[in-house]
Structure 1
Amino acid sequence: MSESTSTQVIRRMAAPHRLPGALIGLLLVVACLAPLQLAPFHTFQLAMAMIYAVTLLGLNLLVGHTGQISLGHGAFFAVGAYTAAVAIERWDVPYLATVPLAAAVAFALGFALGIPALRLRGLYLALVTLAIAIFLVPLLKRFDGLTGGSMGLTVTKPVPPAWTGLAEDQWLYFLALATTVASFALVAGMLRSRVGRALHAVRDNEIAAEVLGVNLAHYKTLAFAWSALLAGVAGSVYTWVIAFVSPDSFALTLSVTLLAGLVVGGLGTTWGPLLGGLFVLFVPSFAQDVNQAAPGVIFGLLIIAVMYLAPTGLAGLAGRLAQRLGQLVRKGKSHAH
């Protein structure tokens, strides 16, 4: 696929899909009530889905809104997770303090990657990010004195304050929910600002953006850095919820699954990362239950089916259905009059 063709595809898939404020408020109320009604395991699953959604939010900022490509986003997620795990277990850093620490380390790594990425495009950039995901696992195993090597690190989960009256799984869920809401609000504000307009200009046409005064090097590097930062934040919360990190948890398949989840959720859309997070968590488990011998086959077929039925992702499909429903309602009212 040529660069111009791929840019057109991203632009078509990146149409905004915004929800009314009342609906967002309703979703937040449901999200707050969910852990009080669900079993601990299902509460844990939803917390993990939100963690993946924050990771995909960062990937969406890079791929969907800036038009870059990354096949190694799982590496940034792993960096955040390991930073939090090492800080908690080795250095006795408070749990909440690991979030800005993991964010800073991932931001620095993303910024460092963004500099050489300025000279690369398309498949060349994809190969560089892919290489990062490949060599991260053996690198984590090599420094066993710090990372625990192949055995990984076990982390004590944060204890809920007594005044909350919450169980451990519920407390972790609300921590994940607060992180998700804050991350989505941050990115939404960024995309509505001058930065967001510049990123979209870079995505749509780099030459035209540069003619209009957009600093390509600055905004491309910024996109990589902020994308990595969000993955690092998600990784730190992942460590709290799972209470264990190991190199094999962040293999290359994680990066590929994250990218697939973003495309399925809706590339460049507002709510695509959230739908993609649900996809990343539940679909592999579903594929494993359907066929334990070849879960990858089932997973791949499901991706093909979703892409065939909803080429702009699940968020795009939901947007079209809502638009169609609105047209039917307006038509019904016009006939009534």
Structure 2
Amino acid sequence: MSTGELTMHASRTARWARPLAALVIAAALLATPYYFAPFRVFQLTMVLLYAVVLAGLNLLVGYGGQISLGHGAFFAVGAYTAAVMLDRFTIGHLATLPVAAAGCFLLGLGFGVPALRLRGLYLALVTLAFAVFLPPLLKRFEHVTGGSMGLTVPKPQPPSWTGLAEDQWLYFLTLTVAAVTLLVVRNLLRSRVGRALLAIRENESAAEVMGVRLSFHKALAFAWSAMFAGVAGCLYTWVIGFVSPDSFSINLSITLLAGLVVGGLASVYGPLLGAAFVMYVPNLAQDISPAAPGVVFGLLIIVVMYLAPTGLAGLAARARQGVRRCVEHLRDTRRRPEPASPVEQTGPPQPEPQPLTAPPTIGKG
């Protein structure tokens, strides 16, 4: 095969590899609830749910360069918004989703004001304070939030024409919202807003010189991130059917941030990998050591970060680059001409040179 044919074949393969992989993943996600037990379907639904909140957190931390330890609070606001609406009013579940998203967007926009003057650890401390005082605040308004007892609300039931069970219906609802969320985040990062956030993360002074409005984009990053956390909280109410202040402690915010770092900051697949880590690793730690699951969970985080400093997504990217380099090396080896044989290098055998002899001497006389 010639070099041109190899190049055309490689470009054709690269062009079709990504759409084919996306098609296979989509088919696997759609077929999943039909081949797993209800509990496994519930776990996968929670993974998709956490992927939504981590996608918003990645927008703020991974691409915006701002640290937040209070996203569990935005998650709780979205969950309680949906729960109170379902408990107090006779409305459908789908009507709670835009209300939770809009409410958390406005809350994040207002909360983004401290981000205009704070950064780094100081900003993290402010967001941490928000996550600390929200659960006691929810307990104070018992007539609305149910206090320490929480609220129990009905789960969305599948339409009869679908023929789906409750867990399957919840899975497909969460999958749809997660797919839309990831698509919105992807398009947002490719827009002017995403480029401005990257510029702010790299160098605020240089970004301001280039005409980027720091205050506007910082507040907007908080608003978008809080909105996705509120959407995930609304899904949490649908899936669990129960909310209480103890479900949204400070541990939730820390676990979400740890899951994002483990999954991979500023990565498209980081939220998905981090969501799987948040869902399955605590259960694994509980199985290993029921007496001290927190210790096992912390050790697992240390091990993962030691083996993959850039997160699981970075580890997968390095593996993919290694495979690509191997393929390119094999391709170059095929293109390289074979070494010439010894006969071709030296040519036909030459006759051995004859030794020089002195001319015959002619005697006198």
Give the alignment's TM-score, normalised by structure 1. 0.93
Task: Please report how far the alpha carbon of residue 242 of structure 1 lies from its aligned counterpart in structure 2 after TM superposition.
Answer: 0.5
Partner of 1:171: 169
Structure 1: unaligned runs, 5 residues or longer: 1-18
Task: Please report how far the alpha carbon of residue 109 of structure 1 lies from its aligned counterpart in structure 2 after TM superposition.
Answer: 1.1
How far apart, CA to CA, are the structure 1 residues paired with 2:23 and 2:277?
23
Partner of 1:134: 132
Tell me which of 109, 112, 124 is aligned to 2:110: 112
Tell me which of 95, 98, 115 is aligned to 1:97: 95
Please say which structure displays the higher CA radius of gyration.
2
Task: Please report how far the alpha carbon of residue 336 of structure 1 lies from its aligned counterpart in structure 2 after TM superposition.
Answer: 4.0
Matches for 1:160-199 after TM superposition, within 5 Å: 160-199=158-197
Partner of 1:64: 62
The amino acid that maps onto 2:44 is: L
How far apart, CA to CA, are the structure 2 residues paired with 1:68 and 1:93?
37
1:219 is the counterpart of 2:217: yes
Task: Please report how far the alpha carbon of residue 27 of structure 1 lies from its aligned counterpart in structure 2 after TM superposition.
Answer: 1.1
How far apart, CA to CA, are the structure 1 residues paired with 2:286 and 2:147?
28
**Identical-residue share of aligned pairs (%):** 63
The amino acid that maps onto 2:66 is: Q
Tell me which of 227, 230, 233 is aligned to 1:232: 230
Check whether the contact 2:139–2:145 (CA below 8 A) recurs between aligned residues.
Answer: yes
Task: Please report how far the alpha carbon of residue 29 of structure 1 lies from its aligned counterpart in structure 2 after TM superposition.
Answer: 1.1
Over residues 194-242 of structure 1, what are the superposed CA-to-partner deviations in whole Å (9 max), with x where a residue is unaligned? 1110110111110000000000000000000000000000110111000
Partner of 2:315: 317
Tell me which of 284, 292, 313 is aligned to 2:282: 284
1:275 is the counterpart of 2:298: no
3-state SS of paired residue (1:97):
helix
Partner of 2:248: 250
Task: Please report how far the alpha carbon of residue 22 of structure 1 lies from its aligned counterpart in structure 2 after TM superposition.
Answer: 2.5
The amino acid that maps onto 1:252 is: I
Q: How many residues align?
A: 319
Partner of 1:143: 141
How far apart, CA to CA, are the structure 1 residues paired with 2:56 and 2:19?
23
Partner of 1:303: 301
The amino acid that maps onto 1:215 is: R
Task: Please report how far the alpha carbon of residue 255 of structure 1 lies from its aligned counterpart in structure 2 after TM superposition.
Answer: 0.2
Give the alignment's TM-score, normalised by structure 2. 0.86
Tell me which of 40, 43, 46 is aligned to 2:41: 43
Check whether the contact 2:114–2:123 (CA below 8 A) recurs between aligned residues.
Answer: no
The amino acid that maps onto 1:208 is: A
Give the aligned CA root-mean-square deviation in angstroms. Answer: 1.0
Check whether the contact 2:53–2:228 (CA below 8 A) recurs between aligned residues.
Answer: yes
The amino acid that maps onto 2:264 is: G
How far apart, CA to CA, are the structure 2 residues paired with 1:295 and 1:119?
38
Task: Please report how far the alpha carbon of residue 108 of structure 1 lies from its aligned counterpart in structure 2 after TM superposition.
Answer: 1.2
Partner of 1:22: 20
Partner of 2:352: none
Over residues 256-309 of structure 1, what are the superposed CA-to-partner deviations in whole Å (9 max), with x where a residue is unaligned? 000000000001111100100000010001001100111010000000000000
Higher relative contact order (CA 8 A, sep 6+): 1
